[in-house]
Amino acid sequence: MSTSAPDPRLGLQVTHRRYVPYGHAHYAGHLVDGAYVLGLFGDAATEVCIRTDGDEGLFASYTDVQFVAPVQAGDVLQVAAQVQAVGRRSRELAFTAQVICRGRPDRSQSAADLLTVPIVAVTARGIVVVPESGRPSGR
């Protein structure tokens, strides 16, 4: 009986931080649409694919996207992507977006607070695909 070592790609996590500019506010109260965060998840997924497979990969699908707290212009978001499962060409990722700083335009135009407890704003799972080992992606 042979035991194989766990795949070293499992559990790999990348983290990005991004300031949310006021130009992205679409709704009253400086709210930002959910698509903005999904774009950040895509950026983090790209880095995961580069680190695990040496290719940018392609996003195939999102599942279980949950918008649990508002994202506002002036926020600083921390986005994490972590490898949950590895297939032959697919990678399942878990995503989390947290607000770590929040703009405070009620105090002054440039005021902001560093949050002692980050606010989980969006969670999701996604599938990315990469080319077979040694084959270019054809883009």
Read off the pLDDT of residues 63-122 as tens digits, 9 standing for 90 and up: 999 999 999 999 999 999 999 999 999 999 999 999 999 999 889 888 899 999 999 999
- In a domain? residue 18: yes
* Global model pTM greater than 0.85: yes
Identify the domain containing residue 123 by its residue range. 13-129
CB atoms within 10 A of CB 121: 23
Residue 17 within any structural domain of the chain: yes
Which CATH number is 78's domain given?
3.10.129.10
Neighbour count for residue 1 (Cβ, 10 Å): 2
What is the band of 138 on the pLDDT scale with cuts at 50, 70, 90?
A: low
Collapse the DSSP code of 38 into the 3-class scheme (helix H, G, I; strand E, B; otherwise coil) and give the result: helix
Structural domain includes residue 85: yes
Closest to 112 measured CA to CA, from 127, 97, 101: 101
Domain count, the chain: 1
- Does residue 66 form part of some domain? yes
